[in-house]
Amino acid sequence: MRIFHVSEDPTIEIFHPRPATAFAELKKDVVFAVSETLLHNYLLPRDCPRVTFYAGHTTSEDDKVKFLSDEFEYVLAIEEKWLEKAISTTLYLYEFDAASFEILDKVAGYFISYESQTPIGKTILSQPIQAIKDRGNIDLKILDNLQDLAQNITDSSLNFSIIRMRNAQPTRLDSKKKISVPLKYIPKPQQTSIFIQGGKEYCIVNLNGEIYAIDNICPHQGASLGLGEIKGEEILCPLHQWRFNVKTGECNVEKYCVERYEVEIME
């Protein structure tokens, strides 16, 4: 098993543990690495949003047919506006001794160490997009907007990683995502309310007179976002303080974004 840390910085001699804010379960700082199998997920500029997926043991036949092809084992999707940067960025693959790490997330290929780590090798990758294609089993998709795919993959039975979505283009509103909310459920400015319709809970937010709605149930451990605090354009989950943008549904923990809805107010 080979494991790597991908960076745009060519000068790293030693990796020191850092806070892992995206993993609430990690109480200590860590050094991150990714398995060679899923290395393609990181052969992109650090800030480039991406949706990646593949079939796991529990993936349904329907989802395999719908999202995968016979030709490729993995799909890696990025937005067109990042393609030029992805082509022109030079990456550095720092390899570690896998015996010094423990596995964190098998589906995502994440390994961690609680100790500082000195790489055992460094490879320069001056053409990362070509390197992705050369791996031979990656279906590299270039899309105008990642949001719909991210939502569909989150709802599927596929194994997936959704990374840096806070940098993706915002969700497009469409009529399917409109909800009608009686006036009495509309909160006062800088307040929230919880509206339930058809068994589904919505968190309604009044930001300076503009009304927004997102899913009320936090995708982390099910807290009620409508009971959270508003900070700027975000709601802080009351349980572990993950942040959800009420305009886009994006979370500071990428793969946990929530759906957002256009609100029609019923008098």
Q: Which residues bind ligand FES (CB under 6 A)?
A: 218, 220-221, 223, 237, 239-240, 242
Least distance in angstroms from the C-beta of 251 to ligand FES: 9
Q: How far is the CB of 256 from ligand FES (least distance, A)?
A: 8
Least CB distance to ligand FES at residue 24 (A): 6
Nearest distance from C-beta of residue 34 to ligand FES, angstroms: 24
Nearer to ligand FES, 93 or 162 (CB): 162
The pair of structure tokens assigned to 199 is 């068994």
CA distance 104 to 24: 12
For residue 171, the 8-state DSSP code is P
Positive/negative CA dihedral, 108, 113, 116, 121: negative
- Residue 49: name the closest of 132, 150, 131 by CA: 150
Give the nearer residue to ligand FES in terms of CB position, either 92 or 242.
242
Between 83 and 227, whose beta carbon lies closer to ligand FES? Answer: 227
Residue 3's contacts (CB-CB under 8 Å, 6 or more residues apart) are: 33, 34, 35, 36, 95, 96, 98, 101, 111
Nearer Cβ to ligand FES, position 133 or 240?
240
Tell me 147's DSSP state.
H
Residues 71, 75, 77, CA angle at the centre, nearest 5°? 135
Residue 143 or 239: which CB sits closer to ligand FES?
Answer: 239
The residue (of 242 and 261) whose beta carbon lies closer to ligand FES is: 242
Report the distance separating Cα 70 and Cα 65, nearest Å.
9
Question: For residue 186, how many other CB atoms are within 10 A of its CB?
Answer: 17
> Radius of gyration over alpha carbons of the chain, in Å?
20
Cβ atoms of 41 and 5 closer than 8 Å? no
Least Å from the CB of residue 125 to ligand FES: 35
Shortest Å, Cβ 242 to ligand FES: 4
